[in-house]
Chains A and B, each alone.
Chain A
C-alpha cells in the first residue's frame, strides 16, 4: 500500500521534531511504500540535510513554508472575482462572532460556520490548482479589502472590529503564510499515473495537525484519499502557547507574538481553530498520543468515534538488561532523572527528602540530569544551594570523611554512564514535576522495573496506571510519605516494579506503536478504495468503479458513511455493525 507521510518541519530533515518517531514507523512497516511529503520550516533546516532513508521510502517531496515564490500569474477578471468570493467567505468565517469551540461541536450554527470555512478553503485550493498565483493574490489588496469588510461587518468578533489597518495587514500576511500548502504542486490530476501527486496514494498520514494536515485535507477533498492525523502534541494548543510567548525570531513561524494586537491573535486563533476542526472532521481517523491530547481534540470538535489513542513508542531494549536483572540497587537510594528546569520542581523534592531523612537517616538522593538553558542552570544552582543548606555533610564516625546525602550527577558521568544505570542505582525513582507532558522519564523507569513515585501532572496517571504511587503536585509531605512507604517495603517495591515493567512493555514499546498504526492503515484502506483503481492500465475507466453515490455533493454526509455507501450499494446488505455504530452516534449527536 502506498502511504503519503505528511510532515511539517519534521521527518526527513536532520533537525526535525518528530523525526525519530516517523523514522521508527517507516522502518517498522517495510511492507508498505512511503512517499514523504515534507514541509520545511526554515532555511537552516533545509541546509542541514536529510537523515538516511530506508528503501521503503519512495519519493520525497519537499516544499518550503518559510519562503514563497510568486509565480507571476496575475488573475483575470473572472479568477479575481473567484478569489475575492473565496477570501471573503474565509474572512467572514474567521470574524464570525461565536467560535465553534465555545458551543458544543454539534451545534447547528457551528456546522454552518465550519462549512463556510471549508468551502472557502477548498475554493482557494481549487483556484490555486486551476490558475496558480495564489501567493500573490493572498497578499493583494483584494484580500485586505475582503478582510476589512468582514471585520467591520455586523456580528463580527469584538476584537476583530477593533482591528486597525496594520493588524489587518498582519493577519493577511499570516494567512498567506499559513495557506502556502494550498499552492503546492502536489495535487495534480495528471501525476496520478506516475505517482507524483497525492492523488495516487492510498492513504495520507499527517504526522501533526496544522500545516502538515492541510495537504492531506485537500487530498481527502479532491481524491477521496483517507486521512490519518497523528498528534502527539495538539497543534492548536501549541499555537496558543507560542502565540502568548515572546516574539519569534525572524521567519520561524506562523504565530504572532504576545505583543501582537488582540485582533491579530483573535483572528489567527480563529483560523487555526477552524482549521483544526476541519481537519478532525475530514480525517478518517485521529490518533492522539495521550488522553490530554485527546481531550483537546474532542474539545476542538473531533468525533469520539474517530479518536484512537496510540501511545508513543519508546526503545525498550536499552533498558532490557536492567529490567531483567535482579534488583541490585542500594535499598535506601532515591533517584531522580531528567532535565533540570523549574517545571521539574526539584525544590519540592528536596523538601520531601528532608522529611524522609527524618524517618530514614540512611536515605540517599541522587539527582541525575543536565540543566537546560540559562534558566535551568540558574535553577540547578539554586537547588544545589538549597541542598547544601538542608543537608550538611555527614560522616559515619568522628574519624571518617563526611559524605553528602544528596548528589547531583550528569548522565555520562562515571557513576551513571547511561540512563539505564541511573535508574538501576535507585530503589525508588521519583518524579516531582509540576508541569509535564508525556513523562518519558517515567516510562523509562517503568522499563527498568523500578517502583516510582510521581506527581499527578500531565499524562502521569495515564502512563503509570496502577503500577506506582502518585501524589498531588506541590505537596512535599505527600511525596515524602509515599517515598518513605516504598523505602520501608522492599516486597512492595518489587511488586510495583514488576507490574510497571509489564505495563510499559505492553503499552509503550515501539512495536506496539508500529503495530497500532499498521492496523489503522489496514482498517482505513479497507474502508476507502481510492481513485487510481478506477482506471485500468490503458487509462480507460473501469465501468461502475465509482457509483454515483460517491459524488454526492455537500459536506453533510459523514466520511465513514460515504465509505460504506461507496462500497456497498443500497440494495446490498446493510453496513457492518462496527461501522454503523459511529455513524449512528454522530447522527444522534446532531
Chain B
C-alpha cells in the first residue's frame, strides 16, 4: 500500500524518468516499453508509451539528493539493516528495480543499497541501549504449581495422621495408600514449575529414582536399623511407630515432602535472578561471577527453610529429631534436582548412587561383622555410631555427596548455556 499516495496522481513523472533512463541501463534488456520488437512483431511504434516529459524534469526535486529522499522513505529498513544486502532485499520487496536504481545514478539495486547502507548515520562507538528485558513466562509465581508443590507435604501429613489414628490392618492400608498418593504428588510437583522438565530423558533416570527412594527409606528406617544392628538386633519388623524395637522416624519424610515447596521457590528464585543476570551481563565471566552468589543464596534459602521445617515437624510429631541428616539429605536432593533440570544429569545420578551405596553398606558391614573372624569389618561404622550416634552415617554420606555436587554446580550452573531453555525458540 506504500505507493497508494502517489497513485492518486496519475502520471506522476517519476515513472517517465524511469522510462527514459531505461535505455541507458546497461543491464536492462533494452527499452522499458518494449513494443513488440520480437521477431516478426514489429509494428513501428516508437519506444514510448510515455507522456512526453523530458528526462530529468522533476516536480518533486528528485534531482537534489534523490538517495536521501529514498533513505527517508525507507528509514526503518536502513536503521535496522545489518548489511547492504538486507537493504537490497528490502528495497526489492518494495518494488525498487534496477531501472529505479538507474534513476539514482546507480548500476543496480545492490550498489544503491550499498550507498544507502554507507550513508546511514551510525553514532560511533556508543552501543545501543539495552532493550527492556522481557521477563520470561515463569516470571511470576504461578498459582497452579505453587499449590502443587504444597501437595506432597499435605498428603504426607494426612497419611501420618491416618497411620497414628488407625490400627492393625487398616493402618497398613492407610500407609500403603498414603505412600502411593505422596509418590504421585511428588512426581506431579517435579513435572512442572522450576523443578520440572529435565531437557531429555536420560538413560539412568530409573536407577536414580530407585536410589532416591532408597535414600528416603533409609531416612525413615535406617537409623533405627543401624542402632538395632549395633545393639544386636533387629528383633522385629518395624511397626510404624517410633517406640518399637525398629523405630520408624516420620520427621524426615514429612520434612522432605513439605520441603518440595521451598525447593521450588528457591529454584524459581535462582532461575529468575539468573535470567535477569543473563540479560544484563555482557560476558560469560561476568555472568558466572554474578550467578555464583545466587546459587549459594538459593541453597542457603532452601537449607534454612529445611531447618525450620525440621524443627517444626519434630515439635508437631513429638519425636526426637536431629536436623543434620535431614538437612544433608535435603541439600543433596535439591542440588541433584537443580543440576538435572539444567541439563546435567550425570553428576547427580552418580552422587545419589554413591550416597545410597554408602548408606546401604553401613548396616551391611555391621551384619557382616557378626560372621566369625570378620569383626574388623564392622569397626568403622560401630565407632562412628558410638561417636555420633546412628545419624552419623547418613549425615556423612549425604553431606559429602552434596558437597561434591555443590562444587560441581558452581562450575556448571554458572555457565550461560545452562540457563537457556532449548525447548522454546529464542
Contacts and interface: CB of A to CB of B under 8 A. Distances in A.
Interface of A: 69-70, 72, 74, 99, 101-102, 139-141, 143-145, 148, 152, 158-159, 162, 164-166, 168-170, 172-174, 236-237, 240-241, 243-244, 248, 250-251, 258, 261-262, 265-266, 269-270, 273, 292, 295, 299, 342-343, 345, 347-348, 351-352, 355, 379, 434-435, 456-458, 461-462, 464-478, 480-482, 485, 489, 492, 495-496, 499, 503
Contacts of A141: 284, 415-418
A15 B200 CA distance: 30
Interface stretch (B83-91, B316-324, B329-337): B83-91
A475 B12 contact: yes
Nearest to B32: A456
Interface in B25-46: 27-29, 32-41, 43, 45
A169 B41 contact: no
Contact of A102 (B35, B38, B84): B84
Contacts of B15: 471-475, 478
Contact of B33 (A251, A343, A469, A476): A469
A122 B80 CA distance: 32
Question: Which label, helix, strand, loop or mixed, suits the secondary structure of the A interface?
Answer: helix
Nearest to A258: B80
B304 interface: no
Interface string B185-213: 00000000000000010110000000000
Contact of B95 (A139, A461, A471, A473): A473
B10 A467 contact: no
16 contacts: A101-B84, A139-B417, A140-B417, A159-B82, A172-B417, A236-B85, A244-B89, A269-B82, A269-B86, A348-B7, A434-B95, A435-B92, A456-B22, A471-B15, A478-B50, A495-B36
B86 A244 contact: yes
B61 interface: no
B83 A266 contact: yes
A243 B6 CA distance: 28
Interface stretch (B65-73, B125-133, B174-182, B217-225): B125-133
B420 interface: yes
B41 to A, nearest CB: 5
Nearest to A471: B49
B3 interface: yes
The 3 A-B pairs of least Cβ separation, nearest first, read A475-B15, A466-B38, A477-B11
A65 to B, nearest CB: 12
Nearest to A241: B89
Contact of B10 (A165, A468, A476): A476
Nearest to A247: B425
Contact of A457 (B8, B82, B97, B284): B97
B128 A262 contact: yes
B284 A355 contact: no
Task: Give the size range of B's interface with the partner.
Answer: 35 or more
A309 to B, nearest CB: 13
Contacts of B90: 240-241, 244
Nearest to B126: A162
B326 interface: no
A428 to B, nearest CB: 13
A148 B32 contact: no
A143 B284 CA distance: 12
Given A166-B278, A299-B110, A469-B34, A478 B51 contact: yes
A164 B281 contact: yes
B424 interface: yes
B86 A240 contact: yes
Contacts of A435: 92-95
A150 B41 CA distance: 61
Contacts of A251: 425
B86 A347 contact: no
B383 interface: no
Nearest to B122: A158
B4 A347 contact: yes
A152 B283 CA distance: 9
Contacts of B99: 456, 472
Contact of B416 (A165, A351, A503): A165
Interface string B43-58: 1010001110000000
B10 A351 contact: yes
Contacts of A139: 417, 420, 422
Given A243-B86, A499-B41, A476 B11 contact: yes
Given A101-B83, A266-B83, A347-B7, A464 B34 contact: yes
A485 B49 contact: yes
Contacts of A241: 89-90, 93
A352 to B, nearest CB: 7
A269 B82 CA distance: 8
Contact of B284 (A145, A174, A248, A265): A145
B275 to A, nearest CB: 9
Interface string B280-295: 0111101100000000
Contacts of B415: 141, 144
B294 to A, nearest CB: 15
B77 interface: yes
Contact of B420 (A173, A261, A273, A464): A173
Contacts of B93: 241, 435
B109 to A, nearest CB: 8
B157 interface: no
B426 interface: yes
B19 interface: yes
B128 A173 contact: no
B279 interface: yes
A434 B3 contact: yes
B283 A72 contact: no
A245 to B, nearest CB: 10
B128 A457 contact: no
A485 B41 contact: no
A446 to B, nearest CB: 12
B18 interface: yes
Given A159-B82, A164-B282, A170-B426, 9 more contacts: A169-B420, A240-B89, A248-B425, A250-B424, A292-B92, A351-B8, A469-B35, A470-B34, A495-B41
A489 B41 CA distance: 13
B347 to A, nearest CB: 12
Nearest to A481: B49
Contacts of A462: 29
B4 A503 contact: no
A40 B404 CA distance: 43
Contact of B287 (A165, A240, A469, A499): A165
B108 interface: yes
A503 B35 CA distance: 15
B245 interface: no
B16 A472 contact: yes
B371 interface: no
Interface string B382-404: 00000000000000000000000
B106 to A, nearest CB: 13
B23 interface: no
B37 A466 contact: yes
B162 interface: no
Contact of B83 (A99, A478, A492): A99
A158 B83 CA distance: 11
Contacts of B27: 295
B51 A477 contact: yes
B319 to A, nearest CB: 44
B1 interface: yes
Given A165-B278, A169-B416, A250 B3 contact: no
Nearest to B124: A158
Given A162-B127, A434-B3, A472-B19, A461 B28 contact: yes
A162 B7 contact: no
Contacts of A152: 283
Nearest to A151: B283
Contacts of B424: 250
